Structure 1
Amino acid sequence: MNKKWVSRFMAPAAAALILAGCNFSGSGDEASGDTEGGSAEGDGSSAQVITLSEGSDIPTMDSTKAHDSIAFNVLNNINEGLYRQNESNEVELAMAEKHDKNEDETVHTFTLREQNWSNGEPVTANDFEYAWKRVMREAGPYNYMLVTAGIKNAEAIMNEEMDAEELGVKAIDEKTLEVTLEAPNPLFETLLAFATFLPQNQAFVEEQGDQYALEAENVLANGPFVFSEWQQEQGWTLEKNEDYWDAENVKLDKAEFVVVKDPQSGANLYETEKVDRVKLTSSLVDQYQDNEGFTNEKASGIVFLRFNHNHEVLSNVNIRRAVNMAIDRDGLTDVILKDGSTPLYGVVPEGYYNSPEGTDYRELNGDINKGTAEEAKEFWEKGLEETGVDSLTVSLNIADTDEMKKVGEYLQAQLEDNLPGFKLELKAVPFAQRLEIEKAIEYDLSLSTWGPDYADPMTYLDMWVDGSSANRMDYSNPKLDELVAEARTDTDLSNRYKTLLEIEKVLLEEDAAVAPLYQRGNTYLTRPSIENLVIHPAGADLSLKWASVK
């Protein structure tokens, strides 16, 4: 993750100086961040350059280790797998120009198109075989995605029962890749658009050693853009890949990203046309809601509380249920956030995932663990009695961002007010550190976020399987594991959907394993001159391939 953060209290002038220091200035030079805003709109220039902001640095550019939205966004734009998401958020052939299946759809054969890496070497089937086996060999954070895809032996490898070399993927020749599945999988093609399934050039990766993907020069591209500059902790630059197989449909010459942590500084940079797109926080919504570039919409990401299931008190289901019911989510979304976020009483959000019969998942499962403060107190007292304590002091691990700090303070007030004897301490750390603390399970409570990797409820449900790298709280229920295994191979879509509903009920009704808080809303200021900036509800958030400056 980012090693440092731009100061929270950075004044606009200071922000401009920082941006100027890494060629993200408004000076009008070739790498200027306001080429699009100040030049394209102000003097009639047709330069196809945009400048976007991000709240933190890129954690890693290694697709086998990436586990956050910022890395996924960059990887999605500089690399390309067998499939990619198109402008309609559907998957389409990308590096593969042909996809054949055997009769029972367990053996998939991909024919690769002609495409070179940014170092001039051809992209081969071995690049896919090597990368996917490397995910399993190094126990990458998304190795379970290969299990979800149903690739032969992936689960056994993840459980250390087989070697990574036995993964069901094989380069037949330079341009032919064969993938064998355990069983037919209706999600297979959808999953292939995710970053974990990107190729890697074996010779390059091994030559770089432990420096691979840590600097711009340690990264290769085979997608619409190349990773031309990375000023760590400040920003990065993507430039059009002229050798990309579909370069004629890539309009942008350059996309610059600047790290701006303080939302007000970001808004000021937008107003002065130094940045073309910024995310607003709740404190800025009222100020900018009449701006021409203002958009406010419900998103597919969720925010929730993780419990450390090894904790002597938080391991009690009644304590966890009390925490769930003690939080007024309406007050959180309507008064504190005000960004289009909505209360959530499940881990699968509403508005994205319908059953085969056309009914929304959230409507079918309803609100789980929704209760009053009085009900919360009853579960609390019961849990205290069962654990033999009369009070509880725990800490909450949160990312050091404006949104998470506000949410943390609200949770602190709610839990301390509604649960007598509850004391919550806030521990704000950089986003990257928050993830590392979670992975080590060195926390009591952790305020977490999750965005869908692919367009199916399973992306919110299989993360709780015992041993999953996304579990990060030592939760385990064999019943849930069995249901997930059933849903992965069930080709009866209606029956599969019933199983997906049951998984959430086990997680929340039976175990109250986590505390869902809200479904995110996103509020942005985006320069009206930017066209066809594709926002995806699952997987990578952003595709620049079709974007242009009007």
Structure 2
Amino acid sequence: MKKERYILIVLSFIFTFVLAACSGGDSESTSSDSSKEQSGESKEQVLHLTDSAEIPTMDSSMTIDALAAQWLGSTKDGLYRLGKNGEPEPGIAKKHDVSDDGLTWTFHLREDAVWSNGDPVTAHDFVFAWQRAIDPDTGSEYGPYMMDGVIKNAESISQGDKSVDQLGVKAVDDYTFEVQLEKPIPYFESMTTFGTFLPMNKKFVEEKGEQYAMDADKLLANGPFKMTEWNHGEGWTLEKNPDYWDADKVKLDKINVKVVKDTASAVNLYETDETDRVNLSSEFVDEYRSSDEFKVEEEPTVFFLKMNQKNKLLSNLNARKAVQMVIDRQSMADVILNNGSLPIGGYVPGNFVKHPETDKDFREINGKLVEYDLDKAQELWSKAKEETGVDTVELRYLGGDTEVAKNLDAYIKDQLEQLDGLSIKVESVPFKVRLERDSKMDYDIENYGWGPDYIDPNTFLNLWVTDGGNNKTGYSNEEYDQLIKKAGSELAQKPVERFETFLKAEKKLVQDDAVIAPLYQRAKAQLWKPYVKGVTANPMGPDYTYKYAYIEGNE
């Protein structure tokens, strides 16, 4: 979103929440007002959350991370939003119609939705936001990623060949929004819940200019909550939006979020009843496993190593395959993570999508495309060094700066350095810096995570097309590009053939071309206070929905 996007991108969010977006990791914890609880009074409808990093930006055109996706999803409604079961439910759109050919979607908007400054939310707000996201001058990564090949003329616009006013979106009137697609998209309703497709108030955005969405007073909300404070590097506060069209369903009055990077501090907050949920790193799991408050939540989010093929040695296929094979994923999951996360030998997660005819899980069908084999890894590594003329090499490894991220990165460093002549320089940086460096391909190996932006294999596999906005590895393969293109065009309405094309694409990506080294499918070991109710974990976009959350005892 998002993975996650919403991007469920960084390891720093493994246990200290973001996404999402998905995607990517979460260390969020929730709590009631502890002084009220200790005095025996009923609990206020206030949650105190912790997160592991600062929000880079709340500009929905510019966000690429699960952390921002979480709070955009809490403060804004799109056409549809994720509901109680993680399924799309009406947001600003009351309903929609689809033409017989599947190319024209007409959304009928509610007339009682307003922005937090009192302006009505109209179809023009969607037109402006979608055009802004695809405009090359905006510099959005997710605009082209989500819209190219989906919304009519999006790709031509993102490449500078057509003007933004030719995007296939139109305000028929203030409360009727029409979208023209390039081809039938069976999961398009699901896509409309994603952050890139959220509306924007044009007058407000242009008034704030470059400062838009960088502080609480530079934001507008049209969703369940609005951001009232944002202390950069420390935390932020959301309050119930009294002008929200569905405010009667929102029970929480406030959500306070504090940035806490290490698990021990978060656990201490939980033990002192200052947080109601905490994600546990491996050293705490065994201690709390027998607790009635202990839970394990599996997610469709995968972590893997990206390998920069601009690097001389990593441009070699045998070198990349050696990296894939040298890591003992089972020990990593059992000992280092120890939180329910599963070793994965492929890229598309398990329990995410099933074959439309046989109902078998995608991961079950394709199985393990990569296995741990130290001897084979050494053999391939030796061949790679011979083929490239490299004998010894130091590779820069881009990782997160949280305690959990550093522990896991240290394990992976030790695993990689089993390869003869290889030394790894771990560069642990804050989340925002990781995003910037990934965008510039300023790394050799990067620990990276991805969560779905919608429920379809395409949300994982189309990352790796040539010059894709989230590729950032230098990988380009015409055969792979054609597989993804075929699945999205001529097979769009042939579900069985389309699914099997995605199976082939994953094998090409992981097994044949070794573009990434799969690591694990994320799960979170958590402690929950039993009086926190109504929080929904989502398979895509924002990791959690808080619209229906409440503190039991004062609901």
Q: What's the TM-score once normalised by structure 1's chain length?
A: 0.91
Kindly state the Cα deviation for residue 290 of structure 1 after the two structures are TM-superposed. Answer: 3.0
The equivalent residue for 2:42 is 45
Q: Distance in 1 between matches of 2:83 and 2:38?
A: 28
Amino acid aligned to 2:494: D
List aligned pairs for 1:50-69, cutoff 5 A. Answer: 50-69=47-66
Contact kept, 8 Å, 2:328 with 2:372, in 1: the verdict is: no
Q: Which residue among 77, 80, 105 is the counterpart of 2:77?
A: 80
List aligned pairs for 1:471-486, cutoff 5 A. Answer: 471-486=471-486
The equivalent residue for 1:119 is 117
Amino acid aligned to 1:442: D
Structure 1: segments with no counterpart, 5+ residues: 7-32
List aligned pairs for 1:227-266, cutoff 5 A. Answer: 227-266=227-266
Q: Deviations over 1:399-428 (max 9, x none)?
A: 1112221121111111212x1111111111
Q: Deviations over 1:201-254 (max 9, x none)?
A: 000000000100010000000001111111111111111111111111111111
Contact kept, 8 Å, 1:146 with 1:154, in 2: the verdict is: no
Contact kept, 8 Å, 1:108 with 1:180, in 2: the verdict is: yes
State the secondary structure of the residue aligned to 1:143: helix
State the secondary structure of the residue aligned to 2:67: helix
Amino acid aligned to 1:538: M
Q: Which residue among 530, 534, 542 is the counterpart of 2:536?
A: 534
Contact kept, 8 Å, 2:327 with 2:415, in 1: the verdict is: yes
Contact kept, 8 Å, 2:31 with 2:274, in 1: the verdict is: yes
The equivalent residue for 1:101 is 98
Q: Deviations over 1:39-76 (max 9, x none)?
A: 25752324211111111111100001111111100000
Structure-2 change in CA distance of 1:474 and 1:162 (3 Å): farther
Contact kept, 8 Å, 2:267 with 2:278, in 1: the verdict is: yes
The equivalent residue for 1:295 is 295
Kindly state the Cα deviation for residue 128 of structure 1 after the two structures are TM-superposed. Answer: 0.4
Structure-2 change in CA distance of 1:37 and 1:319 (3 Å): same
Contact kept, 8 Å, 1:306 with 1:447, in 2: the verdict is: yes
Q: Distance in 2 between matches of 1:36 and 1:531?
A: 15
Tell which deviates more after alignment, 234-243 or 191-200.
234-243
The equivalent residue for 1:407 is 408
Structure-2 change in CA distance of 1:390 and 1:34 (3 Å): closer
The equivalent residue for 2:438 is 438
Kindly state the Cα deviation for residue 326 of structure 1 after the two structures are TM-superposed. Answer: 0.6
Q: Distance in 2 between matches of 1:41 and 1:454?
A: 42
The equivalent residue for 2:269 is 269
State the secondary structure of the residue aligned to 2:142: coil
The equivalent residue for 1:14 is none
State the secondary structure of the residue aligned to 2:162: coil
Tell which deviates more after alignment, 284-293 or 216-225.
284-293
Amino acid aligned to 2:44: A
Contact kept, 8 Å, 1:369 with 1:512, in 2: the verdict is: no
The equivalent residue for 1:525 is 527
Quick one: higher RCO (CA 8 Å, sep 6+), 1 or 2? 2
Identity over aligned pairs, percent: 42
Q: Distance in 1 between matches of 2:168 and 2:88?
A: 22
The equivalent residue for 2:367 is 366
Residue 497 of structure 1 pairs with residue 511 of structure 2: no
Q: Deviations over 1:144-184 (max 9, x none)?
A: 34336711011222333323222111112211111001111
Kindly state the Cα deviation for residue 37 of structure 1 after the two structures are TM-superposed. Answer: 4.1
Q: Deviations over 1:428-485 (max 9, x none)?
A: 1111111211110011111111111111221111111122221122211122222212
Structure-2 change in CA distance of 1:200 and 1:149 (3 Å): farther
Q: Distance in 1 between matches of 2:123 and 2:398?
A: 42
Tell which deviates more after alignment, 320-329 or 477-486.
477-486
Structure-2 change in CA distance of 1:247 and 1:40 (3 Å): farther
Contact kept, 8 Å, 2:344 with 2:519, in 1: the verdict is: yes
Q: Distance in 2 between matches of 1:41 and 1:293?
A: 19
The equivalent residue for 1:24 is none
Amino acid aligned to 2:397: L
Q: Which residue among 126, 129, 147 is the counterpart of 2:127?
A: 129
Contact kept, 8 Å, 2:32 with 2:275, in 1: the verdict is: no
Q: Distance in 1 between matches of 2:494 and 2:538?
A: 27
Structure-2 change in CA distance of 1:482 and 1:147 (3 Å): farther
RMSD: 1.7
Equivalent pairs counted in the alignment come to: 519
State the secondary structure of the residue aligned to 1:335: helix
Contact kept, 8 Å, 1:139 with 1:158, in 2: the verdict is: no
Structure-2 change in CA distance of 1:41 and 1:361 (3 Å): farther
Q: What's the TM-score once normalised by structure 2's chain length?
A: 0.91
The equivalent residue for 1:164 is 164
Q: Distance in 2 between matches of 1:288 and 1:34?
A: 18
Contact kept, 8 Å, 2:31 with 2:49, in 1: the verdict is: no
State the secondary structure of the residue aligned to 1:383: helix
Q: Distance in 2 between matches of 1:389 and 1:47?
A: 63
Tell which deviates more after alignment, 83-92 or 37-46.
37-46
